[in-house]
Amino acid sequence: MVTPQGEYPVFSKDGSRILYQKGGYIFGSLTKSYHSIKTDGNDDQKLCESKYAQRFVPSPDNQWIAWSELYKVYIAPMPMAGKTVGLSASTKALPVAQVARDAGINIHWSRDSKKLFWMLGDELFSDELTERFKFLEGSRDSLPPLDTAGLHVGLEIGYDKPEGIVAFTNARIITMEGDEVIENGTIVVEGNQIIRAGESVKVRIPDNAKVIDCTDKTIMPGLVDVHGHLGDFRYGLSPQKSWYYYANLAYGVTTAHDPSSNSEMIFSHSEMIKAGNMVGPRLYSTGTILYGADGDFKAVINNLDDARSAIRRTKAYGAFSVKSYNQPRRDQRQQVLQAARELGILVVPEGGSFFYHNMSMVADGHTGVEHNIPVAPLYDDVIQFWSKTQTYNTPTLIVNYGGVNGEYYWYQHTNVWEKERLLSFTPRAVVDSRARHRTMVPEEEYQNGHILTSKSLKKLQDAGVNINLGAHGQLQGLGAHWELWMLQQGGMSNHQALKCATINGARYLGMDSQIGSLKAGKLADLIALDSNPLEDIRNSESVRYTMVNGRLYDAATLNEIGNYDKKRSKFYFELEGSGNSWPLMTESQGLMPAQCACGR
C-alpha cells in the first residue's frame, strides 16, 4: 500500500516516485489535483490543481504535463515549484498551449516526450511541442492552427445478421401501420428483415422456414424506449453481458435511446451489439449531455462556434442526437439548434421542470421535449400552440414532474419482488430495496399526479403532438410497461398507447423506415405476447418471444431459439459466492423470503 486514494498511477522517470491524480475523471470532483509521492508512501506532494480538469497525463521525461479541461486538451511544463500551482487554460504562471480543438481522450505521449497524441471518435491526432511553444529549440516562427482532422483508424467489422428463415403463423398482428390489426396473420423473417407480413391465407411460407405456431398469441413491434438510462453512465471495463440489456430484451424492449450517458462506454457497447459481440436492444445515445450548469462535464456555449464544437465532439462518437440540458439562456439553446441543423443532428432538450423553458423549446423547433411539462392540466392555449409544431414529448411519467413519481404506483399496487422474470435478469438487491420497502401514497395523489399529467398527454396526442415512451431506466424492462400503462391511464386507447411505445418513438429517432411497425422490408424487431394488449393494456407484460435484428429469444430465459440453440450463460449475481444468488421463494412454496435470503 502506497496511498489509499487516487487514480491513474504512473512511475516517475527514475522510478522513485509515483505520480497520480485525485478527484476522479469526468463526473468527478469539480477541482482535481495531481500528486507525487515516494514509493514508500512518504512525502506526498500536490503538484497542481485545476478546476474543470478531467485527466492529467505526464510526459515520460516528467518535464511536461497534458490535461483535458472541459473536453479540450492543453499542455504546459510540469509544475515543480515545491508548492501547488493552479493550472488551467488561462494560467499565466506557466506557458500553456491548447492542442485539441474540440476534445481529446486516450491522451498519451511519444517515448521521447516531444509529441502528444489523443483520440476523438475514430481519429488519431498528434501535435509536436515545437508547434505550440516558440521558446523551444526547433520551433517555428509562426505556430500553425490547431488540426481539424486526424488520422482515421478505419476499423470496419461485420454487422451481425442471423441466417435462416423464421415464420410466425396464426397470430393476431398489431402492425402499427395506421390502425391495422390482422386477426389471423403470418410474418416471415429472413436474416434480419421481414420479407412477408399479412393474412395467413395470403402469405406463402418457404419450405426451409422454421415455423412457430402463434395461435392465440399477439405479435407487435418491439418496444422503443427513447428515454432510458441503461447503466452506462460510468467508466471502466465493459461486461461480457449487461443485465440491463437482457432485462430490457426479456420485457420486449428492442430499441433503447439513452439521452445522458458516458460517450466512451455506451457507443462502444452500441457497436459491440451491432457486431454481435454483446446481446442487447438496438442501442443509441446522445452520449455526454451538453450541460449548462456547473460541473467538470459542462458544455460552455456562448456563441455558435462553441455549439458547433460541442456537437462535433458528440457526433465523432457516432451520435445522431444531442441532449441540450439546462443551458440557461434561450440564445444558447438556439445556438445548439443551429449547429445541429448544420451537422444533421437531432436535439432532445430537458428543461429541468421549468414550464417557460419547455415552451420556448417547443417554439424554437427542438426535436422533442424530454420529461413531462410540470403543469397539469394543460389547457387549449398550450395544446393548440404545441400542435402547430413538429416537436414531440417524451413524458417519462415514471418520474413525473409536478407530482408523485408514477413508479411508486406500481410498487404500491403490485408485488414487484415476486416477478420471476424480473429477478432472472436483475440483481435481487436492486429489486428488494425498492419493492419490499414501499412508499405508500394516498390514491388521490396519484389521481392528481401522473394520471392528471397523462390526461393532458391524451389531449396532446389527439391534437397531433406525438407522445413517446420513455422509462428513464427506473426499472429495466418492466419499467417500460409501467410507462405504457400510465399513458393509457390518462384516457388513451390501448392501441393509441401502444403506438406511443413503438412507431412514435421510431419516428422521433428518425428510424421509422426501419423499425416501429411490422411490414415487409423493415428490420425484424418484434415481440409475441401470450395475451392481447388491445383487450387489457397490462397484457403487454406477457412477452413469450423477443426478436431483435432477426435473432429470436425465449423471453423468460433469453436463450436464443429459432434457427439457433444457444443457452444464456449465468450472470455474476447467479453464481455461488456472489452474495446475490439465493432463489426466489414465496410463502406458497413453504418458505418466507427472509428464511432463504439470510439463512435464519
Does residue 585 register a pLDDT over 70? no
To the nearest whole percent, how much of the chain has pLDDT over 90? 91
**Cell 439470510 sits on residue:** 598
Does residue 53 register a pLDDT over 50? yes
CA dist., res. 553 & res. 543, Å (int):
11
Residue that wins the pLDDT comparison between 351 and 545: 545
| Sign of the alpha-carbon torsion through 189, 195, 197, 203 | negative
Note the pLDDT of residue 591.
37
CA dist., res. 340 & res. 421, Å (int):
41
pLDDT (tens digit per residue) in 462-483: 999 999 999 999 999 999 999 9
Mean pLDDT of all residues in 545-568: 98
Q: Encode burial over 242-270: b for 16+ CB neighbours within 10 A, e otherwise.
A: bbbbbbbbbbbbbbbbbbbbbbbbbbbbb
Alpha helix locations (H) across 406-489? 407-413, 420-425, 428-435, 443-447, 450-462, 478-489
CA dist., res. 226 & res. 396, Å (int):
10
Query: Rounded mean pLDDT of the chain?
Result: 94
Length of the chain in terms of residues written: 600
Q: Is the link from the previous residue into 9 a cis peptide, with omega within 30 of 0?
A: no
Mean pLDDT of all residues in 42-68: 96
Mean pLDDT of all residues in 331-353: 96
Note the pLDDT of residue 141.
84
Residue 230 is placed in which grid cell? 441503461
The pLDDT-based confidence of 80 (bands split at 50, 70, 90) is confident
Note the pLDDT of residue 583.
54
Does residue 599 register a pLDDT over 60? no
**Cell 438487491 sits on residue:** 429
Query: What letter would DSSP give residue 322?
Result: E
Whether residue 273 contacts residue 279, with contact meaning beta carbons closer than 8 Å, is answered with yes
pTM equals 0.94
Whether residue 396 contacts residue 470, with contact meaning beta carbons closer than 8 Å, is answered with yes
CA dist., res. 253 & res. 251, Å (int):
6
The closest alpha carbon to 275, from 375, 158, 178, belongs to 158
Alpha helix locations (H) across 256-350? 263-275, 304-315, 330-343
Pairing of strands 72-77, 31-38: unpaired
Mean pLDDT of all residues in 443-453: 97
pLDDT (tens digit per residue) in 227-269: 999 999 888 889 999 999 999 999 999 999 999 999 999 999 9
Mean pLDDT of all residues in 485-506: 98
CA dist., res. 447 & res. 452, Å (int):
6
Residue 328 is placed in which grid cell? 440557461
Residue 176 is placed in which grid cell? 402499427
**Cell 425498492 sits on residue:** 434
Note the pLDDT of residue 581.
54
Note the pLDDT of residue 586.
42
157-222+516-558: CATH architecture: Roll (2.30)
Q: Which residues pair with 529 in a beta bridge?
A: 218, 543
Mean pLDDT of all residues in 153-173: 97
Render 28-97 in DSSP notation, one character per residue.
Answer: S-SEEEEEEEETTS---EEEEEEETEEEEEE-TTSSEEEEEETTEEEEEEPP-SSS-EE-STT-SSS--E
Residue type, 457: L
Mean pLDDT of all residues in 186-191: 98
- DSSP 3-state percent helix, strand, coil across the chain (nearest 5): 25, 25, 50
The closest alpha carbon to 372, from 335, 332, 344, 400, belongs to 400
Neighbours of 522 (CB within 10 A): 21
Domain 7-152 falls under CATH 2.120.10.30: yes
Residues 6+ apart with CB under 8 A from 407: 398, 399, 474, 475, 479, 482
**Cell 429541468 sits on residue:** 352
Q: Which of 85-89, 124-128, 581-585 has the lowest mean pLDDT?
A: 581-585
CA dist., res. 104 & res. 74, Å (int):
10
> Taking the domains of the chain in order of start, what are their residue ranges?
7-152, 157-222+516-558
Neighbours of 205 (CB within 10 A): 15
Containing 504, the helix (H) or strand (E) segment is helix 503-508
